[in-house]
Amino acid sequence: MPVTIVDVARKAGVSTATVSRVLHKSPKVDATTRARVRETLEELGYSPNIPARSLVTKRTRTVGLVITTIADPFFADIVRGVEDVAIENDYGVILCDSNADPEREMATIRLFQEKRVDGIIVASSRVGDLYLGLLEKTKVPVVLVNNEKTGAYVYSVGTDDVAGGEMATEYLIQLGHRRIGYIAGLADAKSTYDRLTGYRQALRKHGLPFDSSLLAPGNARPDGGLSGMNQLLTDCPSLTAVFCYNDLTAIGALKALRIAGKGVPDLVSVMGYDDLLFAAYSEPPLTTIEQRKYDLGAIAMRMLLDLQSGVESVSNNVLEPRLVIRESCSPAKS
For the chain, give the number of residues: 334
On the question of pLDDT at 13 being above 70, the answer is yes
Q: How many CA atoms lie within 13 A of 116 on its CB side?
A: 10
Contacts of 134 (CB under 8 A, 6+ apart): 106, 109
Q: Describe the crossing of helices 161-174 and 190-205 by its angle, rounded to 10 degrees.
A: 40
Task: Looking at the structure, give the CATH architecture of the domain made up of residues 5-48.
Answer: Orthogonal Bundle (1.10)
Interatomic CA distance for residues 265 and 196, integer angstroms: 22
Amino acid identity for residue 64 in this structure:
G
The pLDDT-based confidence of 55 (bands split at 50, 70, 90) is very low
Q: Which of 105-114, 239-248, 291-300 has the lowest mean pLDDT?
A: 105-114
Strand-pair category, 180-183 with 241-244: parallel
pLDDT in tens, 178-228: 999 999 999 988 899 999 999 999 999 999 999 999 999 999 999 999 999
Give pLDDT, residue 327: 99
Does position 314 have pLDDT exceeding 90, yes or no? no
Using the predicted structure, report yes or no on whether residue 57 has a pLDDT greater than 60. Answer: no
Query: What residue ranges do the domains of the chain occupy?
Result: 5-48, 60-159+293-320, 161-291
pLDDT for 121 beyond 90? yes
CATH architecture, domain defined by 60-159+293-320: 3-Layer(aba) Sandwich (3.40)
User: What pLDDT does 56 receive?
Assistant: 47
Residue 113 pLDDT > 70: yes
* Rounded Cα gap, residues 52 and 163, in angstroms: 48
Read off the pLDDT of each residue in 107-124 and give the average, rounded to a whole number.
Answer: 89
Residue 144, φ and ψ in degrees, nearest 5: -95, 135
Q: What is the DSSP letter of 68?
A: S
> Residue 133: its pLDDT value, please?
64
> What integer pLDDT is reported at residue 268 of this predicted model?
99
Percent of the chain scoring above 70 in pLDDT: 90
CATH topology for 161-291 is Rossmann fold (3.40.50)
**C-alpha to C-alpha distance for 243 and 254, rounded to whole angstroms:** 12
Task: Return the closest-CA partner of residue 248 out of 216, 270, 215, 233.
Answer: 270
DSSP one-letter code for 239: -
Q: Mean pLDDT, the chain, as a whole number?
A: 90
Is the per-residue pLDDT at 279 higher than 60?
yes
Give CA–CA dist 220/69, Å, rounded.
11
pLDDT band at 51 (very low <50, low <70, confident <90, very high): low
Determine contact, residues 251/282, Cβ cutoff 8 Å. yes
Q: How confident is the model at residue 127 (pLDDT cuts 50, 70, 90)?
A: low
Name residue 155's beta-bridge partners: 143
Residue 173 has pLDDT above 50, yes or no: yes
Instruction: Report how far residue 14's alpha carbon sits from residue 31's, in angstroms, rounded to the nearest whole number.
Output: 14
pLDDT at 196: 98
pTM, 2 dp: 0.82
The per-type count for the chain, helices as H runs and strands as E runs, is 12, 12
* Coil, helix or strand at residue 47: coil
**Residue 152 in this model has a pLDDT that exceeds 80:** no
Kindly report the backbone phi and psi dihedral angles of residue 66, in degrees, each rounded to the nearest multiple of 5, phi listed first: -110, 130
Beta bridge partners of residue 96, listed in sequence order? 66
| Higher pLDDT among residues 220 and 48, named by residue | 220
The confidence band for 163, taking pLDDT boundaries of 50, 70 and 90, is very high
* Residue 49 contacts residue 2 (beta carbons within 8 Å): yes
User: 161-291: same fold as 60-159+293-320?
Assistant: yes
